[in-house]
Amino acid sequence: MQRLRIVLLSAILLGAAGCATTQESVDSTQPPQVTFAQVKAAPDSYKNQTVTWGGEILSARRLKEGTRIEILQLPLNSSLQPTLELNKSQGRFVALQKEFLDPATIPAGTFVTVTGEVAGSITLPLDETEYAYPIMELKAMKVWVRVEDQPIRIRPYMGPGPYWGPYWSPYWRPWPYW
């Protein structure tokens, strides 16, 4: 019996050692993602490169050449959803949608993830100063709905039946049992 335990334990350990291989999780075939900070520092160096950024919409305005969306950049989580950490923002950027986009459909405060090509920068007034915004030609946009904006779901009343009651049990009866 003792010998059988030793043989089984040895087989398990050998099997586990064979399964313990390491792999890199980084896909080396994909080029590294260009960060917002890199583009903000030298926007002309990254022209025509595709980037994915996220943030909170500050304003949207219709212009002759399209819709200009001003976005406060925010870090993205693993699902590419902007985080709510406003203090970790690295600045603002402009996403330019060439086709018609009604600004009323993306009001200020909306959280988005956008993908597009870097198109340089533009200097616009910001309060009492001038601010250089990196520009992105918008290709795709994901609008995130905040949890508090989602409708509350209430389970419908099922009526009396075999599973109706405070404990959802067919055996539930009001107290006392006699």
Any idea what the CATH number is for the domain that residue 132 is in?
A: 2.40.50.140
- Looking at the domain assignment, is residue 20 inside a domain? no
Reported as a pLDDT band with limits 50, 70 and 90, residue 148 is: low
Q: Is residue 178 part of a domain?
A: no
At a CB cut-off of 8 Å and minimum separation 6, what does 36 contact?
51, 53, 73, 90, 91, 93, 134
Q: Whole-angstrom Cα distance, residue 93 to residue 53?
A: 9
Number of domains composing the chain: 1
Note down the domain range covering 100. Answer: 36-146
Whether pTM > 0.85 for this model: the answer is no
Among 2-6, 70-74, 116-120, the minimum mean pLDDT is found in: 2-6
